[in-house]
Structure 1
Amino acid sequence: MISRREFLQATAATAAATLVPANAFAKTPAAAHDDVLKWVDPRIGTGGHGHCYPGATVPFGAVQLSPDTFNDGWDWCAGYHVSDTSIMGFSHTHLSGTGCGDLLDFLVMAGTGTAKIEPGPRTDPDKGYRSSFSHDDEVMTPGYYSVILKDYNVKAELSATERAGIHRYTFPKSDQAYLVLDLQHGYEGGPKPNVLSAELSMPAADTLAGGRVTRAWGNGRHSFFSLQVSKAPTKVVFYSDDKEVPAPTGPLTGGNLKCVMYFTTHANEAILVKTGISGVSAASAAVNVKTEIPAWDFDGVRQAAHAKWAKQIGKIQVTSANEAHKKVFYTALYHLSLGPTLFDDVDGRYRGMDQQIHSLPAGHHNYTTFSAWDTYRAAHPTYTLIESARVPDFCNTLIRMAEQSPEGMPVWPLQGCETGTMTGYHSASIISEAINKGVPGIDQEAAYKVMMKRAMVDDYRGLGYYRKMHYIPANEEEESVSKTFEYCYNDWAIAHVSKKLGKMDDCTMLVERSKNYRQYWDKETRFMRPKLIDGSFTSPFNPIDLGHKKHWRDYTESNAWQTTFGVQHDAAGLIGLFGGREPFVEKLDELFTTAPTLPEDAPPDIAGMVGQYAHGNEPSHHIAYLYVYAGSPYKTQARVRSLMETMYSPNPDGMQGNEDVGQMSAWFILSALGFYPVDAVSGNYVLGSPLFESAVVDLGNGGKLEIVVNRRDPAHQYVHGFTLNGKAQNRTWFQHSDIAKGGKLVFEMGAEPDTSFGSGADVVPPSLTV
């Protein structure tokens, strides 16, 4: 398994300084009309360790056309960090908030004079084609990005469709204006050359085409492009291994290919670039760009992208006088809508996980960039609410991946490659959640077949021990405790599909097996403690440690504090291990109040510390809601409100941890609405503390979820009661089926906790119920 920690070590990466330039907080100009997009600020997450990119894309689009300020190091997984002051150029693919880096395909850079063919270092941009820039000159709005390249006095503007990007470069008067295309540029991730092979051709006087195979994170990833300019260049110079070569009569091949297109420009002349991308071929990329951007109409593309984003962000309307909260919320909705990303061509063809080219049935789509270990928790449940039209394609994509991939069930798939990053196989959790909630159009039999093969047959990362011994020994398998916990939830997820298909024996077996996490309970220390193959606990034991020895870790990006509360489907069983509600709540309180000390080798992913709770990393995301299961929902309400206020802000470094393709944002979105899916597959939502005064959620099926919050002061965070679809409730949870076709929640809030509300044993959310 490749953990994000191991990837980071392989790259020898260092984190960026958290100090950012003062002008990095400059405001983006408001939209021309008063729509929800004025609250979206793509700068959020581009500082700190958010790993977000600021450039142009459309919802779930294959193209993410964005500036690259650096292409190596942990805080440049998305190619950009707000602490930088120079730009390498603009590439067409980027990852949103991931803990590992890749992509940055097909960099284009504009300039004047004699072009340099290497980017040059950040410490001395003049040595390469880099240019200095000012954050004051950047404009970032959904679907559009622009900046002034100060060294060349060139204005760069970017916009995009689903599978193509469009650039507009406004040049000064020059007889040596140029555009550089760099096929070697990409996320480096260490000293090895990451371009395995590339090819470049010039099929027409105004067109370049080609592709490459890379091995940054996704090993053997294929990407292709077709690039057309609005004005034929006066000269084109090709380079291989940074040496000039004759213009090719056919494809130029190699590992380091570049070219420079020169132009003569008058003052304020604009040269446009249209680039289609594809995972199939350069010819398919040409069809993509011709279909999606047929004309040289930059403003038309920009306006269309704006309209797509206005529709997307408008799916949730919230009411609040707090502008900071609205900026965080709507930017979170924006980030949530950046992935998974489209990975098919306009003709329905795509590259599968078997590296073969496949064709989709008409009307269907293929996706990639599934950060499943993160996103099964809240991002995909949010898609189930507001992206009902896409969810079947998400799930059927994952099923096809499992059928086509030599690796079986996808873990972290990226553009036809299995990265193998993180534990468990939460593609099963994502598919099962949608099936259990009744989402139509998912091939349930095919899903069950591939899920059960992984659960019952595959010799995969300790599953043999899990099936035989009911736990994974810490001296036989790395990250054994976390893997067991993940497999328990995967079993739980598959059990729901078993029931849907009437396979009750399988269901019973899987539910029983989902209790295997209990094998690690140490009643003496009251922690989940690693066990050896002889059944004994590891020693010595310190709950802040990530492992009992340096050889490998026993927990995945977490320690015993976080993992002990890492049970999502059987909170009642976990409470029982502690001996009941009182000792459980006492220990949960201690989690948030103990010293936030971590060992020296802790990965930077463990961030946003409140005691030993780590909001910046996903294993903690459900924990604050566990008080509800112990009859103390008022403690959840106070803690969740505090986390919303302290873990997020409308600033570049306003995200305490990686965005992780929507999960950090989804936690905020759902928590701000007032509920959260602790156990996503079950279809149950647990109440928290609504942040806004009202909200309307477009469910995409003609129905709407209306949320009304009655309180005298926005600071009132405690729920004193709520009604569901007009009926008063004494419970602190509800089901997806209660709102799936539309519904109404009304919260009654107060300044002080109502300790009786939701305290009865008969009104807590269910556990271990299929």
Structure 2
Amino acid sequence: MVTRRRFLQGAAALSLLGGSLKPLAALAASGAKSAVSPAAGAAAGLAKYVDIFVGTGGHGHTYPGATMPFGMVQLSPDTYDAQWDACSGYHEGDGSIMGFSHTHLSGTGASDMLDVLVMPCTGPVRLQPGDREHKGTNYRSRYDGVTPAIAPSASSKPAVKGYRSRYDRADEHAQPGYYQVRLKDYDVLAELTATLRAGLHRYTFHGADEGHLLIDFAHGYHDDPAIPTKVTDAQLKLIGNDTLVGGRRVHQWANGRHIYFALKLSRPFARATLYADDTALPDATAEAKGTNLKAALHITHARSAPLLVKVGISGVDIEGALRNLDAEVPGWDFDDARHQAAAAWERELGRIRIDTSSERTRKTFYSALYHTMVAPTLFSDVDGRYRGMDLAVHNLPASANNYSTYSLWDTYRALHPLFTLIQPARVPDLVNGLVRMAAESPDGPPVWPLQGVETGCMIGYHSAVVIAEAYAKGFKGIDYASAWPLYRKRAMDDDYRGLSYYRKLGYIPSDKEGEAVSKTLEYAYDDWAVAHLADAAGATDDAKKLRERSANYQHVFDRKVSFVRPRANDGSWLEPFDPRGMGHSAQWRDFTESNAWQATFLNQHDLYAYMRLFGGEQAFERKLDELFTTSSALPADAPPDIAGMVGQYAHGNEPSHHVAYLYAYTGAHHKTQARVRMLLDTMYQAEPDGLAGNEDCGQISAWYVMSALGLYAVDPVSANYVFGSPLLDRAEIEIGAQRKLTVQALSNGPDQLYIQSVSWNGKPWSKSWISHAELAAGGHLVFQMGSKPNPQFGAAASDRPPSFGKTAGSAAT
């Protein structure tokens, strides 16, 4: 995330840079008319405000392809399959496409997937994608001299022409549930859409009359471009003259995950060739096994009519992929499937309907809302089978769904709180899935689960937070009783990533465990969450112990310097200490994707006690001011995730996301209003390079959606929301059971960012926060805005948000 946003500091952070996509009408006017399918049309309804390409530039790591809300299939173009900025398989700076694969991650900083690559080709069969430099397809850096992570190597080797094709951004069009592009080297118009478990392709050949589909089943994401994706147990099998099926295990980030597919063509292929290790197998071969498998399906009279391809996927087996395909795409009506996908997106986007005088805000909001609903992803078949975290096949209870792709270190902060408001019917499935994972997994409670495998990415075990939040907010139909012993074992017994030290010493020593300061702080918050699960189980003594232990943050706080900092096993503070530094020595990282500046404000649950460590609320407030106004300089070894800098605040990474709201706890809520509005205005654009950092499976966008509504869950387990500075003039939110929440900001505008007063259901509301229970019942929340701060709003101790279950006044006694 080393982006140009490093120069953003304080109120001087006024604008974002970067180009934008041409609208469809402009493409026609510019001569790209032939590239646009007559069936594509312009998006209607709320979808017309969604720019799918937000985050496909910079270091956003999103993909532009077709998917359904929370769908298992993400059918999208791959421009590259290795290194950091190809985490989603696509970057808008590339100029060529390798093909279209069926699984992608949205906005992650680590990656995998890119399963079942399909590429429509003409001419001779080529089995390698070729160099990215082929025919001028160099990565184009736009990041102020920063070397991109996926820049092509300065190799003197001649470019290799492979099956990839050049394309022009002007020939690219996407809207929710649909994607199209013209492949210039083959003169093929490619169109994509999706159902929940299947992808549909439509290829119109305008050039040669003979063509073929290249299916590269060795293709997938790999960190090192010199080391291929590690695949085992792969098989391809031809069925008749129109079907190809297969399965494989992939040993990348999610080590050992299973994926299966079934591919059918709308008309028979003339012949088919299977390849193993890039060697053609005899013509009569109908099945191949190995690690590097590919297939070429040859099409005669390619120009006679568009070729349709439908692909079902499954994590269970080939039969599951076939059943998913037959159940969801029984025929060949591409346009009907595209319209159904569009309708599904319209329903989901319609959960929040907004009024704003700013077209930019409208586009940014709905682009963000779209990106909050592409993960977690469905991971169960139409017959209710799914592959569990033990890699065994399980059966779901009737009408339940299983999900994957939980980026929990990121998403517990804003995405899951957003779901509790706008996706209440989906919350029990999402949360029960986490409980099942904790029971099935040999690794215990899920941390970053992907397709039946625990990646172990990031620290803490924040699935506990998502479950505890659901309990605190009163969600029914969730197996809290089964969750408690699983999470108790992790909290009380497991020797897991420094927890033994944490239990013994009250902190994790930085000379014994990497990232020890951040781990200490995040385990403290997980203790707070697991205490709520103990409450649900009636385990009173454990709940009390966990609440007491959740104050362990104090053991890494040095009152002399007012920072959290690394501490040794013998209790001494480790030297040297630089609050901008990553570790106390070159060999150690003491913080996770952060430094002491950001980690010092990581406390989310016990703020009134925490403020006393600084010397009181005024000292804490001054420290917050200093965070936002100090130099943004970072050491050379800082990870690129620390981005979107405003002082030492880093909006491009999640540990900072609640920090602007902390002023509310000091009684200076007007400072929260100013900071939040500045971040809304400067950190988001409806542009490819419109995000401050990785999208992280919807968390960056969820921060925008919640904050634009004027609400944020500093401590999701508290079941409360702190007010910010609502960006929207009005929003109507469907919150389930035919209830609506209306949020209105009167006299709102770019210079009218300060709350003068608030009313709730027509009555004055002096608090700077509101509970989930009140919002979930429906009602009318009105903010009266003005151009000058009202320092009295939220200033009284009784009006500040509760923390650790206490109000500001009671916490001080």
Give the TM-score range, shorter chain. Answer: over 0.9
1:127 match: secondary structure: coil
The corresponding residue for 1:220 is 256
The corresponding residue for 1:74 is 84
Shift of 1:635: 0.4
Q: What is the aligned counterpart of 2:536 among 487, 490, 500? A: 500
Distance in 1, Cα, partners of 2:193 & 2:327: 16
Shift of 1:249: 4.8
The corresponding residue for 1:9 is none
Distance in 2, Cα, partners of 1:335 & 1:57: 11
Bigger mean CA offset, 550-559 vs 189-198: 189-198
The corresponding residue for 1:163 is 197
Aligned 8 A contact 1:693 1:714 in 2: no
Amino acid in structure 2 at the alignment position of 1:392: P
Shift of 1:511: 0.9
Q: What is the aligned counterpart of 1:137 among 157, 165, 171? A: 171
Distance change (3 Å), C-alpha of 1:199 and 1:248? farther
The corresponding residue for 1:754 is 790
Q: Which ranges in structure 1 are unaligned for 5 or more consecutive residues?
A: 6-18
Aligned 8 A contact 2:198 2:328 in 1: yes
Shift of 1:508: 1.4
Q: What is the aligned counterpart of 2:586 among 550, 573, 578? A: 550
Distance in 2, Cα, partners of 1:219 & 1:705: 43
2:67 match: secondary structure: coil
Q: After superposition, where does 1:396-415 map in structure 2 within 5 Å? A: 396-415=432-451
Distance in 2, Cα, partners of 1:739 & 1:247: 65
Bigger mean CA offset, 631-640 vs 595-604: 595-604
Distance in 2, Cα, partners of 1:132 & 1:712: 46
Deviations 1:147-173 (A, max 9, x none): 000111100000000000000000136
The corresponding residue for 1:150 is 184
Shift of 1:756: 1.3
The corresponding residue for 2:457 is 421
Aligned 8 A contact 1:21 1:83 in 2: no
Distance in 1, Cα, partners of 2:736 & 2:347: 11
Residue 630 of structure 2 is aligned to residue 594 of structure 1: yes
The corresponding residue for 2:144 is none
Distance in 1, Cα, partners of 2:44 & 2:112: 36
Residue 117 of structure 2 is aligned to residue 117 of structure 1: no
The corresponding residue for 2:222 is 188
1:220 match: secondary structure: strand
Residue 113 of structure 2 is aligned to residue 103 of structure 1: yes
- Structure 1 residue runs of 4+, over 6 Å off? none
The corresponding residue for 2:210 is 176
The corresponding residue for 2:21 is 25
Q: After superposition, where does 1:29-428 map in structure 2 within 5 Å? A: 32=42, 34-124=44-134, 127-172=161-206, 174-190=208-224, 191-193=226-228, 194-247=230-283, 249=285, 251-265=287-301, 267=303, 269-428=305-464
Distance in 2, Cα, partners of 1:499 & 1:727: 34
Shift of 1:714: 4.5
Shift of 1:20: 11
Q: What is the aligned counterpart of 1:451 among 487, 503, 513? A: 487
Q: After superposition, where does 1:526-605 map in structure 2 within 5 Å? A: 526-605=562-641
Distance in 1, Cα, partners of 2:273 & 2:520: 56
Shift of 1:552: 2.5
Aligned 8 A contact 2:274 2:287 in 1: no
Distance in 2, Cα, partners of 1:21 & 1:669: 22
Deviations 1:448-491 (A, max 9, x none): 11111110111100111111111111111111111111111111
Aligned 8 A contact 1:388 1:701 in 2: no
Bigger mean CA offset, 244-253 vs 473-482: 244-253
Aligned 8 A contact 1:392 1:440 in 2: yes
Aligned 8 A contact 1:224 1:277 in 2: yes
Identical aligned residues as a percent: 53
Shift of 1:727: 2.1
Amino acid in structure 2 at the alignment position of 1:759: A
Shift of 1:341: 0.1
Amino acid in structure 1 at the alignment position of 2:557: W
Shift of 1:34: 4.7
Q: Which ranges in structure 2 are unaligned for 5 or more consecutive residues?
A: 3-15, 26-39, 136-159, 807-813
Aligned 8 A contact 1:182 1:258 in 2: yes
1:538 match: secondary structure: coil
Shift of 1:231: 1.2
Deviations 1:544-568 (A, max 9, x none): 0111122231100000000000000
Aligned 8 A contact 2:262 2:311 in 1: yes
Residue 476 of structure 2 is aligned to residue 476 of structure 1: no
1:425 match: secondary structure: coil
Deviations 1:14-67 (A, max 9, x none): xxxxx9996x62225696575111100011100000000000000000000000
Q: What is the aligned counterpart of 1:618 among 654, 662, 682? A: 654
1:222 match: secondary structure: strand
The corresponding residue for 2:501 is 465
Distance change (3 Å), C-alpha of 1:713 and 1:209? closer
Bigger mean CA offset, 175-184 vs 97-106: 175-184
Aligned 8 A contact 1:28 1:41 in 2: no
1:762 match: secondary structure: helix
Distance in 2, Cα, partners of 1:423 & 1:370: 14
Deviations 1:247-286 (A, max 9, x none): 4655311111001111112536200000000000111101
Bigger mean CA offset, 569-578 vs 247-256: 247-256
Distance in 2, Cα, partners of 1:345 & 1:656: 36
Shift of 1:218: 0.5
Aligned 8 A contact 2:368 2:702 in 1: yes
Amino acid in structure 2 at the alignment position of 1:94: H
Shift of 1:769: 1.1
Aligned 8 A contact 1:146 1:156 in 2: yes
Aligned 8 A contact 1:20 1:47 in 2: no
Bigger mean CA offset, 170-179 vs 325-334: 170-179
The corresponding residue for 1:737 is 773
1:25 match: secondary structure: coil
Aligned 8 A contact 2:118 2:214 in 1: yes
1:115 match: secondary structure: coil
Deviations 1:347-382 (A, max 9, x none): 000001101000001100000000000000000000
Distance in 2, Cα, partners of 1:251 & 1:545: 55
The corresponding residue for 1:673 is 709
Scaled by the length of structure 1, the TM-score of the pair is 0.96
Distance in 1, Cα, partners of 2:350 & 2:18: 32
Distance in 1, Cα, partners of 2:725 & 2:595: 28
The corresponding residue for 1:15 is none
Distance change (3 Å), C-alpha of 1:202 and 1:734? same
Residue 689 of structure 2 is aligned to residue 653 of structure 1: yes
Aligned 8 A contact 1:172 1:269 in 2: no
Amino acid in structure 2 at the alignment position of 1:148: R
Distance in 2, Cα, partners of 1:503 & 1:726: 41
Distance in 2, Cα, partners of 1:33 & 1:283: 35
Distance in 1, Cα, partners of 2:407 & 2:74: 17
Distance in 2, Cα, partners of 1:98 & 1:47: 13
Aligned 8 A contact 1:97 1:661 in 2: yes
Distance in 1, Cα, partners of 2:768 & 2:24: 40
Distance in 2, Cα, partners of 1:266 & 1:442: 52
Amino acid in structure 1 at the alignment position of 2:218: Q
2:249 match: secondary structure: strand
